[in-house]
Every structure is written in C-alpha cells, then in structure tokens.
Structure 1
Amino acid sequence: MADPFSIGVGVVGVVGLAIQIVQVVTRCGLDWKDAPTEVKAVREELQVLAQTLSITQTNILQNPDFAAAFDNRPSLLLSQLGPNAPNDTNTKVMLQSCERHLRDLLHDLEKRARGHRVGWERLKGAFLAKHTRESVGNLYRQCQTLNNMVVIDAVALSAKIHTEVMAIQEEQRDSRQEQRDAIVASQRWRQEDRAQTILQWLSATDYGTQQSDFFQRQQDGTGQWLLDSTEFRNWRSNNATTLYCHGMPGAGKTIMTSIVVNQLCTEFEYNPSTGIAYLYCDFRRKGEQKPINLLASLLKQLILNQPKMPPGVERLYENHLAKQTRPLLGEILTELHFVASTYSKSFIIVDALDECSISEGGRQEFISELLNLQAKARSNIFVTSRINPQIARELRTGYTRLEVRASDADVRKYLESQVHRLPAFVQRSTEVQKEIKNGITNAVRGM
C-alpha cells in the first residue's frame, strides 16, 4: 500500500520546484510582463499544475485509498467508477519524471543566470525544453483526472447513500404501515355485535366523548410545561409509578389531564403492548361513580387494545346473562388484573379524584384497588385533584407530587388567541393589548 505521507512529500516537492523556477526570474530582475509569449505559457502551466497538486495532496491526506493511484496499481476508490476508471495508473512515474525535469529546468536557469547579465532571450531556451513541458502537462492532466474522479465518486457515493437511506425509510414506512394494518385487523372483533354487547354490559359510560370535549377546549401550545417536566418524564418512562397532580379550583387540571391522555394515546396508538385507560370523575355523577363502576370502565378500556375478547370476560358475561345479573367487584378485579398484566406497560389516568364518591368509603376503596392493580400489573397511575391531605394519605408513600397551575406563558397564549374579540381600538394599539395581557396574567394567579 502506498504511503500517503511519502507521496504527499513528493507532491510538495514538485510544487516547491515550480515556485523556485518562477522566483529565479524575479531574482534576475526580469519582469514577467515582458516575457515572451511561450515563456508566459510555461509559467501559467506551472501555476495551474501547482494548484492541481495542492488539491491532489489534500485528497491523498484525506483518503488513504487515493494514494493507491500513485502506487502503480488500481485505486479501490476510483475503480468504483466502473469501466470509465483506468485499470492501472502511471501517476507515480509521472510525478517522478516531472520532478526530475523541473529540477533540470531549475538547474539550467540558475546556470544561465550565474555571473552574466541576462535577459529573456538568454533564459527563454531553458523554458522551451519539450520534454519538460510534456512532463508538466502529463502530470497536470493525470492529477486533474484523478481529482475529478474523486469528486464524481463522492457525488456518486452521496447519491448512493441517499438512495439507500430513502429505501430504508420507505421500508420502515411499509413495515410500520403493515404493523398498523395488522393491529387494526386484529381489533376488528370490537365491531362485532357480540363484542359490543359485552363491552356495553361492562360499562355504559363513554369517557372518550368527554376526552374529545376537554381536549378541544385546550389552547394550542399550552400545557407543554407538564409534558416537559422531569416529574412527568420519569413517570412516563418507568413502571409502577404514581404522579399526583394537585391544584386549586380553576387551575386547569382537567384540561391538563386531557393533554396527558392525548399525548399517550398518540404516542402508543399502534403499540399493542401498551394499555391506556382514563376516568373523568364528576361530583354531579357520584351515584354512577362507585368503585365497581370505575374499575369496570378501566377494564373495558384496557380490553379495547387486546387482539380478541379475553375468554375470562366472555365467560363472566355468559355466567350472568342467564340470571340477568351484574358482575361482582371481585370478578371485575380478577379480569382487570389479568388484562392489565398482559401489557408490558399500562397507564391509568384519573381526573378529579376528589370528586369521586366518598360515601361508605368508596373513594378510599377505589384508591386501594388502584394501588393493588399497580402492585400486580406494574401500572403507572396519574391522578389529579384539589389539594386534599386525605387523598395524599390514601395514596400512601412513594408517589411524586406536582402542582398544576395556569402558567403565565399559557395564560398569555390564550389571551393572544382572544385579542380579535376585543374592540377595534384595542386591536390597533399594541400598548393597550400589552397592558390588558399583563393585567389579566397578574390577576388570575394560576387559575
């Protein structure tokens, strides 16, 4: 293998000789403007050769394989050009020949200039040696060809890489689409009448409609602070963790919950190994929100991402169908624990836990069963409520707390979206708008 360093030294040597030849004329007190046309042509050829060799040296140092073109054998890099690339090169011989002839030219010039008053006529003959000009021209053309081939090869390589990357991306898109199609196909059972009947029997509450309604109220761009928080990221990444988000009335806890639900549903839309279930508690529906009803709704939602209706749930439905009875809490819990355990990751989100019924210890029982589910299925639990010491105690220890409040940035984003509703004189004055935004932002105090 050719040594890039030694080749580089040879290239530098030729460039140095070309420079010395031009300098000899200057030392003789001659002006190149007065040089004969043939001599000027030689000088220009030397300058062009020096520039080309500088590029060649860079290619040698940056790509060791390029040095093979100076070792009397084909370059692996340049041979990628196929039939247009030379099978062999004599670049090394050309370099040595050019260096020898330029040394001869330099020696001849110095000899002619030594001890005599010289003019262009005395020096001209040294420049016109045919073999010197031929060696300069041959080396220039060969190096220019090699340099051009490197450029072409680099472009071809870039194009090849781009094509391969595009092919990989297309393959990945096809793979993802096939995966999505397979998941959608595997979940068509949910559209069957029997499946619909069983799911409706488990729970008639439609929290999906509430989720859509709450999320549509969100101002674009708000709530990102929660998703970016360290507390949320840790909760999202780890299993069997609890994030308790508390805040004053009007702080936006329900809207923030809808943002969390949307983020998770979007992120894991086509991931069959992840289960997501959520509840929106409401004090006006306390009669409906008993522990068994809430847990049955969680079971129903976790079933929706299954490849088929769980056999245990079908048997449970059949057992109660003939007697026209409802499932017992223990039966719901058995199926809930089983279904949640089939997922490698599951998220349970509960908004406004403080509005859950507390009669007959209902809320305490519900929280206790959530924690039991977390212990058995390693589910992640996200809970919001007003500041409530009792809920904090019922959640036991090991959870992370995060206060929810309307950030100044979110308030300003909302206000900016509502400026068009204000009178025309306000819309024309940025100062008045600024005063209004500052006043309201300071007044809301996180609500």
Structure 2
Amino acid sequence: MDVHEQGEDIIQQLEALNDYGPFLENLRELDNSSQLVERACEFLIEATNFLNASLEHLDKPAFRRAASESWVMSKESFEGARKRLDEQVERDVQINLFKWIKQNKVDRILSSISVDASYREKQQQYSARRMPNIGQWVLNNDNFREWERKRPTDNAKVLCCTGLPGAGKTFIASQIVTHLEEKRFRHAFQNPEGKIGIAYIYCSIADEGQQTAIGFISSIARQLTELPFPRPNPLMGDAESFYNSYSYQGRIPGLSEYKSLIRDLLHRLDHTFIVVDALDECTEYDENHMSVRDTFVKTLLSFDVHLLFTSRHVGAVDSLKEDAVRLGAYFKAMEISPLPDDVKSYIDWRINDEQHGSTHLQRWIENGNLSRDEIINGILDKYSGM
C-alpha cells in the first residue's frame, strides 16, 4: 500500500466514523440493551486507538511511511468493533420491532375489550387531591377488614359505604383503591406467581348520558386483564381468545360474552376486588330506556368477588341490599362520616395549599374578615349539626 492509498484509507475510515456521530451523541437517551452500550463503548475505544495510530503514522516522513504492524492491527480492531456495533444495532432493531409488534397487539386486544381507559386518569386525579392519612380509620374499620380479608366462596362479598353529600366518599374510594394496589404489589413480591385483580368505576352525574351497563362491565374486564404482575401476563391468553372470537367476524360482543370473559379471568386470579364509587350517580336507564344501574349491579353480584360501593342514602342502596340478600351474597354496610380531626385537617389544607387551596377562604383571611380559627370552628359547628 503506497502513501497515497494509505491516506485515502485513513480518510475513508474517518468518514465512516463521522456517520456514527448522531447515534453516539444520542446514545444516553436511547432505551437500549446493555450489549448495545457495551459495543458502542468498545467502538469508541478502538476508534480512538485508530486515530492515535493514524496520527503517529502520518507524522512520519513519507519514505518511512510503510504500513506498520501496529497501524494495521489498530485499523483491523477498529473495523472489527464497527462491525460488531452494526450487528448489535441490527439485533436491537429486530428485538425492539418484535416488542413493538407484541405491545401493539396487546393494545389492540385491550382496546377491543374496552376503549375507555379514563379510569386510570380519574384515580390519579383523586389520589393527587387526597390528603395523606385522611380517612385512615376506614382501612382500620372491622367491617372493611373482614370484607378485605375473607375470600368469597360461592357468592359476592359486598361492603356498601354510605354517607352524606360532601362526606368524602370519592376520596375514600380512591384511598381504598390505592390501598388495594399496594396490597397487590406486596402480594406479588412475596409470591411472584400470585395474582390479585383490581378494577374500579367512578360514576358521575356529569357522565350520565354516556353511562351504559356494558360500558361499565367492559371497563372492568379490561382492568382485570391489565394485570401488572407476574410477567408475562397469564390473562392475555383469555383476552386474546375473546378478541379472536368476534373481531375477525366483525361482531360486537354482548353483555353475556363479557360476563363469560370475566369469569374466565376470575378463575386465574387469587383474589379480585371491584370498587364502584357514587352508585347513586349511576344512571337508571340509558337513552334507549335500557336498564343501566340495575343490570350493572346484578351482573357484579353474579361474580365471586369482593365488591365495594359508595353512595348517598338513596333507593339504589336499598335495591343493592335486596339483590345481594336474594342472591345469597355477603352484605355489610358502613357509614362514611369523617372524624372531626379529619375535617379540621381538610379545612386547614384548603386554606394553606397553594395548588388546591380555596381562594375564597384565603381572601377572607388576607382581608381580615375572618381568622383561620374562626373559619375552622364555624365549619366544624355546621358539620357537627348535620
């Protein structure tokens, strides 16, 4: 190899190195395998060694610039590192493509069960607005503990939590969901094969026109399918069978098919907890005059699961109890009535919190109309008289 050929060879290698610049600059931001990072580091080391050897080689006089053994070895090492990096990138692309295809399939299956994924957002919103330790008494209540611990046998196990408007029932429901999710995490840690299903529905009068019994049941089916532990998800097989049974035929599954799917999922779960907040805000009939609340409740009562409802004192609660007793389900009632200390802490939080505080209360105090203690004591007096 003459001097001219050597120079061209070095230039070609440098141009090849330049092609890897954007990839190496963004390597830290890529969520890739440790093998890819290892190959990239090896490539950089060999590239540095090759550049140093090339500089030393070019620094020699032309008549002494025969291809030295060290320069040739450095070039070969550099080319070998580049080849191994290219191969690893190709493998990672294939792996990530497979993961994307698999996740895309999972998303497609879940969306076929229910397109509604707003339950997670609602839970996050209520959790963010919930004060720490408020309502802890509910989790320590004997009725709640018995409902949580004793596994249903042949019928549903129902705990109905009733309270006045503004008693904090929705925040209590949110706290119970968080408690159950933490329980599931501990259970999975202690028993990697253990499976606890959790689903929840937040009813709202604002969504009254959109509520349907099949919409609620399909949402519960999706939530139970989205089991975070263990991996791989052992419930996806049932969900995929459900998906295949009607998707290729262009059919829309009915309530009976969703009930069948949920029963299949329940057989694979160790415990299943379903929380329904604001049953009183669940519409009685949809726009087609089809029963919503009654169908929804009776469907839930047909499963061997832990069921918890929150509601105001309305006829829906009486109907729930009658249906539960008639079907032989376990039924207990619990009153949601915040402790005075909880009420005081909540008012104090509303006065002082920058994000969720009440501007009206804050303005009254700033203008000297009322003191903090006067506001708290006044609301406590009103509350105690309810």
The alignment's TM-score, normalised by the length of structure 1, stands at: 0.52
1:249 match: secondary structure: coil
Distance change >3 Å, CA 402–CA 309, structure 1 → 2: closer
Quick one: structure 1 residues 262 and 350, their matched pair in 2 at CA, closer, same or farther if it must change by over 3 Å? Answer: same
- The answer to whether the Cα contact below 8 Å between 1:221 and 1:413 also exists between their aligned partners in 2 is no
Give the deviation of 1:254 after TM superposition.
Answer: 0.8
Matched letter for residue 356 of structure 1: C
**In 2: Cα distance, 1:236 partner to 1:347 partner:** 8
1:369 matched to 2:299? The reply is yes
Correspondence for 1:279: 201
> Partners of 2:384 and 2:166 in 1: how far apart?
10
Going from structure 1 to structure 2, the CA distance change for 1:286 and 1:324 (only over 3 Å counts) comes to farther
By relative contact order (CA 8 Å, sep 6+), the higher-ranking structure is 2
Q: Which segment is superposed worse, 270-279 or 198-207?
A: 270-279
Distance 2:101 2:306 in 1: 25
1:338 to 264, 278, 293: 264
Task: Name the amino acid aligned to 1:195.
Answer: V
Amino acid at match of 1:328: G
The equivalent residue for 1:437 is 376
- Where does 1:90-105 land on structure 2 (aligned, <5 Å)? none
Distance in 1 separating the partners of 2:100 and 2:311: 36
What is the total number of aligned residue pairs between the two structures? 254
Q: Evaluate the alpha carbon distance shift between residue 425 and residue 357 of structure 1 in structure 2; reply closer, same or farther with a 3 A threshold.
A: closer
Tell me the alpha carbon deviations over residues 31-89 of structure 1, each in whole angstroms, 9 at most, x when there is no partner.
Answer: xxxxxxxxxxxxxxxxxxxxxxxxxxxxxxxxxxxxxxxxxxxxxxxxxxxxxxxxxxx
Q: CA deviation at 1:265?
A: 0.5
Q: Any stretches of 5+ residues in structure 1 without a counterpart?
A: 1-187
- Given that 1:289 and 1:356 are in contact with CA atoms closer than 8 Å, whether structure 2 keeps it comes out as yes
Q: Which residue does 2:341 correspond to in 1?
A: 409
Q: How far 1:287 moved relative to its partner?
A: 3.9
Deviations 1:404-431 (A, max 9, x none): 133311111122334447679969x9x9
Once the two structures are TM-superposed, the CA of residue 342 in structure 1 deviates from its matched residue by 1.5
Is this contact kept in 2: 1:349–1:381, CA < 8 A?
Answer: yes
8 Å CA contact retained: 2:160, 2:334: yes
The answer on 1:289 being equivalent to 2:200 is no
Of the three residues 218, 222, 225, the one matched with 2:137 is 225
Q: How does 1:191-340 map to 2 (within 5 A)?
A: 192-205=103-116, 206-240=118-152, 241-269=157-185, 271=188, 272-305=194-227, 307-340=233-266
Calculate the aligned-residue CA RMSD, in Å. 2.8
CA contact (8 A) 2:225 2:236 kept: yes
> Contact 1:246–1:404 at 8 Å: present in 2 too?
yes
> What is the distance in 2 between the residues matched to 1:189 and 1:394?
44
Retained in 2: the 8 A contact 1:189–1:309? no
Q: Are the aligned partners of 2:167 and 2:336 in contact in 1 as well (CA < 8 Å)?
A: yes
Q: Matched residue of 2:291: which SS?
A: helix
1:78-104, Cα deviation, whole Å (9 max, x unpaired):
xxxxxxxxxxxxxxxxxxxxxxxxxxx
- The 8 Å contact of residues 243 and 400 in structure 1, kept in 2 or not, is answered as yes
**Is 1:354 aligned to residue 280 of structure 2?**
yes
Q: Structure 2: which 5+ residue stretches go unaligned?
A: 1-98, 189-193, 353-358
Distance change >3 Å, CA 426–CA 332, structure 1 → 2: closer
Q: Is the 8 A contact 1:276 1:347 kept in 2?
A: yes
Per-residue deviation, residues 386-421 of structure 1 (Å, max 9, x unmatched): 112343233333411111133311111122334447
Structure 1 or 2: more helix by fraction: 1
CA contact (8 A) 1:299 1:335 kept: yes
Q: What's the counterpart of residue 165 of structure 1?
A: none
Instruction: Report what 1:44 is aligned to.
Output: none
Kindly state the Cα deviation for residue 191 of structure 1 after the two structures are TM-superposed. 6.9
Percent identity of the aligned residues? 28
* Local SS of the residue matching 1:399: strand
Q: Separation in 1 of the partners of 2:129 and 2:101?
A: 29
Distance 1:364 1:423, change over 3 A: closer
Name the CA shift for 1:326/1:424 in 2 (closer, same or farther; >3 Å): closer
- After TM superposition, the structure 1 = structure 2 runs for residues 2-41 of structure 1, keeping only pairs within 5 Å, are none
Name the residue aligned to 2:34: none
Contact 1:251 1:446 in 2 (8 A): no
